[in-house]
Chain A
Amino acid sequence: MRKLSKPLYGQQNKTAYLFLLPWLIGFFCLTLGPMIASLYLSMTKFNLLSSPTWTGLSNYVQIFTEDDTFLRSLWLTFYYVFLSVPLRLAFALLVAMALNKGIRGLGIYRTVYYIPSLLGGSVAIAIVWRQIFDGSGLVNQFLSWFGITGPSWIAHPDYVVYTIITLSVWQFGSAMVIFLAGLKQIPADLYEASGVDGAGKLRQFFGITLPMLSPVIFFNLIMSMINSFQAFTPAYVIGDGRGGPLDATMFYTLYLYLKGFSFFDMGYASALAWIMLVIIGVFTAIVFLTSKFWVFYGDNQEGR
């Protein structure tokens, strides 16, 4: 058994590396150099235009000890990630299940629902979003039919983050397509057998659909989380591009960008970037570590 599986494993690895090759080339040729440079810059004072001067860890010290905006932007980003990722995944799963009912013209629906995730990160959509949620925008016109005077959702510091979360949830398309593929993999006889045994829809969902889908959920969770931590465009365009009003759109990436490119403090911005990398790494590791308790691979050795 062992003798057989090892060469097969190697074969699989080779194929995997072959598929990873374009990414690896990109990483080694394009990404690695700037990453190392930014690690160096994070320990310097670098105003973008003069040459950097070595300051050791002082940027990091300043970030953790005296920077209120750092804390605020970190908190805002966490808030955004922990609200938008579950919402988006839940929404994506819901739509995927609806589309999995064998309706006609599935290809068209799939495309239509996928489009937002292609466009969602774009500036144009963020501008449209601005118009929809503005004080005299579509949403408030709709609310006014019921006699409700809505606030300007993009201009009030208390509400603007929800506008951005809505935009993020609306980009459920790519998660949905992956869910849909996962749903199609679940053998229909599981549902039939459980149906014969008298399991209701809800029971089937929690007893069959969710466990069988857990590898896909795991994948989607990781990808959405990493993406959400790095959200930039919606905050930049829906807000005023300077984190306003009142730092309510000061996402971590936006703060980093402003520090680096507007405020001439690229060393500081590099330090911020490395802190973000560590944070994303930690959260990804947590999800990976917990995954053995909730992700079930139908085809693994233990045969769970």
Chain B
Amino acid sequence: MLKRSMVGMLAGLMLFVTACSGTDHTGAGGDTDNGAAESGQVELRMMWWGDQKRADITNEALKVFQEKHPNIKIMGEFSPSSGYFDKLNTQLASGTAPDIFFLGGNVVDYAKKNVLLDLDPYVGSELNLDGMDPTMVEYGRLDGKLQHISAGANARGIVINQALFEKAGIPLPEPNWNWEDYAAVSKELSDKLGDGIFGTYNFTVDGMDIYLKQRGKQLYNMENGTLGFAKEDIQEWFQYWEETSSAGGVVTPEMQVSNPHDDTSKSLLITGKAAMSLLPSNQLAAFQSLTEDPLILHPVPRGPKGTGVVFESSQGLSGYANTKHPKEVAILMDFWINDPQAAKILGSDRGVPVTEANRNLLQEEAGPVEEIVYQYTSLVSEATKSEPFDVSYNPPGFAEFSKLAQTTSQEIGFGRKSVEQAVADFYNGTVRIFESNQ
């Protein structure tokens, strides 16, 4: 009797299982939005990362877009940068990715996996790129296909908290300083400002590609599909930071961990505990809006071949390869880079506009902070005329690579490994990551 009831129950269960998987099938089959397309109403999902301020202006711009294109409705989603790519990856894997989304320097990783929409068919019709700088357009061409439209350009520079320099009684450094000067100034700042205030953040990870370029190397050689540096090239860089840290000029590893430099709510630059760091120019306004201390951008210390800094895409838009509405995606991209109203709303939060027309438009109305940013970026543009550097791409597997680089920097910082050992492990790890992401 027991057996029979067990069998009955199991049979019932199996029935139920088939029943629920059955619903799944009909659910997927019935889920076509022919209805929506027929009525002419199109709905796009868009995703970006950033803080609340960026979300506000992005939504405002999207509102204007929808007024101009009443048949397109945009559903915006955003998340902080830390979880953004995990979320995007999950959605891409499950086929539920947004129709249009932002990518940064890791665009290579996505282009290699063929998940981005080929935009070439729409150029000239829905998507007008005539006003966009040719180098910026080219930046989005990966594997011969246009897959990415830069939404803003920036140049990295050394952000300086002027109030701390004044307090320490140190004059602003020369514009053509080198890394030795940088270490010396950092130490002097730490010494004069006293306990708990430091000269500079440790930007081993973020500044790595700049340092390599200053020596004629790069992180990733995209043309040959190889790593652009050898172990010896990177060893000096880690060594430099080890020495500068030991001298006392650099934020302690603990503070660096609990106050990440790129987190505006915690950055020590804003709280007046660190005087210098490496910063992409588009972030200056966000940083300045949170502190009374005047912040300025200063050129990056020079290496043998110059500063290594270029005017480059800070982030941009890509479409999802499986979007049902590629045309509308192209229309939205066109609006994003060309529309003057959009440019005014968006400002330079994601970087300086990529079309000259919009750049001029914003420059006319620039406030004091934007003025600093424009001065700095034009300085960089001028400098690259005499000291040209290639625009660079992040190597494939960038998320894992940057995690490894950060761990390496911390292993040295917390004294767990010697520089030699840490760099050897770092380079081996880099090669492994690079190969497994080909």
A residues neighboring B (CB under 8 Å) = 7, 9-10, 13-14, 17, 21, 24-25, 28-29, 47-50, 134-135, 151-152, 154-157, 240-247, 257-258, 261-266
The answer on a CB contact under 8 Å between A246 and B255 is: no
Structural contact, B253 and A245, CB atoms closer than 8 A: yes
Docked Cα-Cα span, A24 to B399, in Å, equals 38
Complex: A9 Cα to B2 Cα, angstroms:
9
Q: A25-B16, A240-B257, A264-B437 are in contact. Are A48 and B89 (CB under 8 A)?
A: yes
Q: How far is the CB of B313 from chain A (nearest CB, A)?
A: 22
B255 engages A152 (CB within 8 Å): yes
Asked whether, in the complex, the Cβ of A265 is within 8 Å of the Cβ of B436, the reply is: yes
Q: Which residues of A contact B114 (CB under 8 A)?
A: 49-50
Kindly state the separation between the CA atoms of A266 and B89 in the bound complex, as whole angstroms: 11
In chain B, residues 63-95, which have Cβ atoms closer than 8 Å to a Cβ of chain A?
82-83, 85-86, 89-90, 92-93
* Any A CB within 8 A of the CB of B386: no
Which residues does chain B contribute within 8 Å of A156, judged by CB atoms? 254, 257, 414
A265 to B83, CA, bound (A): 17
Could you tell me if B254 and A242 are in contact, using CB atoms closer than 8 angstroms? no
Contact with A along B382-416 (1 / 0, CB 8 A): 00000000000000010110010011001100101
Nearest-Cβ distance from residue B297 to partner chain A, whole angstroms = 27
Contact, CB under 8 Å: A246 / B17: no
Q: Return 15 A-B CB contacts under 8 Å, by A number.
A: A10-B5, A17-B6, A28-B13, A49-B115, A135-B254, A151-B254, A154-B258, A240-B82, A240-B257, A241-B82, A245-B254, A245-B257, A246-B416, A262-B400, A264-B113
Q: Which residues of A lie under 8 Å from residue B93 when comparing CB positions?
A: 48-49, 266
A32 to chain B, nearest CB (A): 9
Q: How far is the CA of A14 from the CA of B2 in the complex (A)?
A: 8
Contact with A152, one of B1, B86, B258, B416 (Cβ below 8 angstroms): B258
Are A155 and B2 neighbours in the complex by a CB distance under 8 Å?
no
Contacting residues, chain A, for B1 (C-beta < 8 A): 7, 10
Q: Which 8 A-B pairs have the closest CB atoms?
A: A155-B258, A10-B2, A155-B257, A49-B113, A263-B400, A155-B254, A245-B257, A29-B20
Say if the beta carbon of B21 comes within 8 Å of chain A: yes
**Nearest CB of B to A8, in Å:** 11
From A17, A28, A246, A258, residue with most partner B Cβ within 10 Å: A246
B109 at the interface (CB under 8 A from A): yes
For A68, the closest partner residue in chain B by CB is: B425
Expressed in whole angstroms, the Cα–Cα distance for A151 and B436 within the complex equals: 39
Chain A residues with CB under 8 Å of B414's CB are 156-157, 245-246
* Contact (Cβ within 8 A) A14 B5: yes
* B150-184 at interface with A (beta carbon < 8 Å): none
B290 partner residues in chain A, CB cutoff 8 A = none
Q: Does B260 contact A (CB under 8 A)?
A: yes
With A134-B258, A245-B410, A246-B416 known as contacts, the answer to whether A264 contacts B397 (CB < 8 A) is yes
Contacts of B16 in A (CB 8 A): 25, 28-29
Residues of chain A with a CB closer than 8 A to B436's CB: 265
With both beta carbons as reference points, the residue of chain B lying nearest to A265 in the complex is identified as B436
CB distance from B133 to the nearest CB of A (A): 30
In the assembled complex, the CB of A68 is this many whole angstroms from the nearest CB of chain B, namely 9
A1 to chain B, nearest CB (A): 18
**How far does the Cβ of B265 sit from chain A's closest Cβ, in whole Å?**
12
Known: A29-B16, A135-B258, A242-B403. 18 other contacts (CB 8 A): A9-B2, A10-B1, A10-B2, A17-B6, A17-B9, A28-B16, A49-B110, A49-B114, A134-B258, A155-B257, A240-B82, A240-B260, A241-B83, A242-B406, A244-B257, A244-B407, A246-B414, A262-B400
Complexed CA–CA distance, A29 and B113 (Å): 31
Instruction: Specify which chain B residues have a CB less than 8 angstroms from the CB of A257 in the assembled complex.
Output: 86
A49 touches B257 (CB 8 A): no
Query: Which residues of B lie under 8 Å from residue A155 when comparing CB positions?
Result: 253-255, 257-258
In the assembled complex, the CB of A257 is this many whole angstroms from the nearest CB of chain B, namely 8
Decide yes or no: A243 and B89 within 8 Å by CB, A10-B5, A47-B113, A49-B114 being known contacts: no
Q: Are B260 and A261 in contact (CB under 8 A)?
A: no
Which residues from chain A contact B109 at a C-beta distance below 8 Å? 264
A243 and B403 alpha carbons, distance in the complex (Å): 9
Q: B423-438 vs A: 1/0 string, CB under 8 Å? A: 0000000000100110
With CB as the reference atom, state the residue of chain A lying closest to B410.
A246
Q: Give the nearest-CB partner of B1 in chain A.
A: A10
Q: In whole angstroms, how far apart are the Cα atoms of A14 and B5 in the complex?
A: 8
Q: How far is the CA of A7 from the CA of B1 in the complex (A)?
A: 9
Taking CB atoms, residues of chain B closer than 8 Å to A264 are: 89, 109, 113, 397, 399, 437
Select one of B21, B86, B437 contacting A29, CB under 8 A: B21
In whole angstroms, how far apart are the Cα atoms of A298 and B124 in the complex?
Answer: 83
A9 to B109 CA separation, bound complex (whole angstroms): 59
Q: Looking across the interface, which residue of chain A has its beta carbon closest to that of B406?
A: A244
B406 → A minimal CB distance (Å): 6
Closest to B260 in A: A240
Q: Which B residues are in CB contact (< 8 Å) with A246? A: 407, 410-411, 414, 416
Taking CB as reference atom, which chain B residue is nearest A46?
Answer: B93
- Give, as a whole number of angstroms, the nearest-CB distance from B254 to chain A: 4
Chain A neighbourhood of B416, CB < 8 A: 246
Contact bitstring B312-333, A, C-beta under 8 A = 1, else 0: 0000000000000000000000
- A143 shortest CB reach to chain B, Å: 16
Q: A13-B2, A242-B403 are in contact. Are A261 and B257 (CB under 8 A)?
A: no
B407 lies within 8 A of A247 (CB): yes
